[in-house]
Structure 1
Amino acid sequence: MEINFLALIVAAISTLLVGFVWYHPKVFGTIWMKESGMTEDKMKGGNMALIFGMAVFYAFLIAMVLQTLTIHQFGALSMVGGDATIAKPSYTAFMADYGTAFRTFKHGALHGFITGLFLALPIIGTNALFERKSYKYTLVSGGFWIVCFMLMGGIICAWK
């Protein structure tokens, strides 16, 4: 099973599109700015090319992990040491039967949701506790990543 880099890149870029909507002032942008302590002046002072470039890079790293969480066949490949050429015939038989099983957008979105809810949200929540951020900040930021993980998981899982 090969890594689909195009799917990972598209999934990573999708986070920018979600962020454009999610953090729009008419959606959650105003709440996020207030709860995070961000101001218009602070936003104008940043190197936006670097910020967006690094955001896509980090999202790409997340996509690499989501790939293994949303595509079950990666688990079978890892059980044979990652090299299908040295696998036993049982691996080949398994892949013949289940090679594209559960490779749907819906299935990937489900696993993305579970990962966002039980991994991203607790990480953001823990940071928010120590940074003395409000529950609103936690819900807005955590909700953003849950939606992103769902979309990313769906893209990665469905793109064969």
Structure 2
Amino acid sequence: MDFLNFPAILVAAVSALVVGFIWYNPKVFGNAWMKEAGMTEEKIKSGNMAKIFIMAFIFAFLLAMTMMQLTIHQTGALSLIGGDPSVALPSYDAFMADYGDAFRSYKHGALHGVLAGVFIALPIIGTNALFERKSAKYIFINAGYWIVTLGVMGTIICGWV
């Protein structure tokens, strides 16, 4: 079984940009985020948007690679044999025959993605925001984006078999 599904990883990375386009739209949370972040239209327009979106995609790609490890439990079994199934004992093949497709669903990926958002992204964003003297609203807008985004990424990564 191949766990490294590059099309799924690429689509998951793109999904972060799509969710961001919706989430930070002025009709959704965009205006509130701008106010809480201290952003202005002029400041937004002054940025190099090509650079911002290219870097955002690269970061999303790295996150999608991480979501593979968090949502597909069989990667743990693969890591126990050093990543090369050709050198594994017969017990590895028997294990994968029994459990190779266990918990490989969109729903399972969404669950682990949301849990990653709540237990990883929220604490990181919250800690930074506290030291930056940002509001709770700022924390919840940004953490909410990552909870939804990681849920979508997990859905794509784990369910796309």
- Residue in structure 2 matched with residue 79 of structure 1 by the alignment: 80
TM-score (norm 2): 0.97
- Residue in structure 1 matched with residue 107 of structure 2 by the alignment: 106
- Kindly provide the CA deviation profile for residues 83-123 of structure 1, in whole angstroms up to 9, marking residues without a partner as x: 11111111100111111111111000000011110000000
In structure 2, what is the Cα distance between the partners aligned to 1:53 and 1:103? Answer: 30
- Residue in structure 2 matched with residue 28 of structure 1 by the alignment: 29
- Residue in structure 2 matched with residue 68 of structure 1 by the alignment: 69
In structure 2, what is the Cα distance between the partners aligned to 1:81 and 1:67? Answer: 17
Q: What pairs up with 1:143-158 in 2 under 5 angstroms? A: 143-158=144-159
On the 8 A contact 2:64/2:153 being kept in 1, the answer is yes
- 1:2: how far off? 4.2
- Residue in structure 1 matched with residue 40 of structure 2 by the alignment: 39
On the 8 A contact 2:106/2:155 being kept in 1, the answer is yes
Identity, % of aligned positions? 64
In structure 1, what is the Cα distance between the partners aligned to 2:140 and 2:118? Answer: 11
On the 8 A contact 2:3/2:75 being kept in 1, the answer is no
On the 8 A contact 2:68/2:154 being kept in 1, the answer is yes
- Residue in structure 1 matched with residue 125 of structure 2 by the alignment: 124
Q: What pairs up with 1:46-61 in 2 under 5 angstroms? A: 46-61=47-62
Q: How many residues align?
A: 160
Q: Write the letter of the residue equivalent to 1:46.
A: G
Q: Does 1:138 align with 2:142?
A: no
In structure 2, what is the Cα distance between the partners aligned to 1:111 and 1:79? Answer: 21
- Residue in structure 2 matched with residue 17 of structure 1 by the alignment: 18
In structure 1, what is the Cα distance between the partners aligned to 2:7 and 2:39? Answer: 34
In structure 2, what is the Cα distance between the partners aligned to 1:16 and 1:63? Answer: 12
TM-score (norm 1): 0.98
- Kindly provide the CA deviation profile for residues 28-52 of structure 1, in whole angstroms up to 9, marking residues without a partner as x: 1111000001100011111111101
Structure 1 portions without partners, runs of 5+:
none
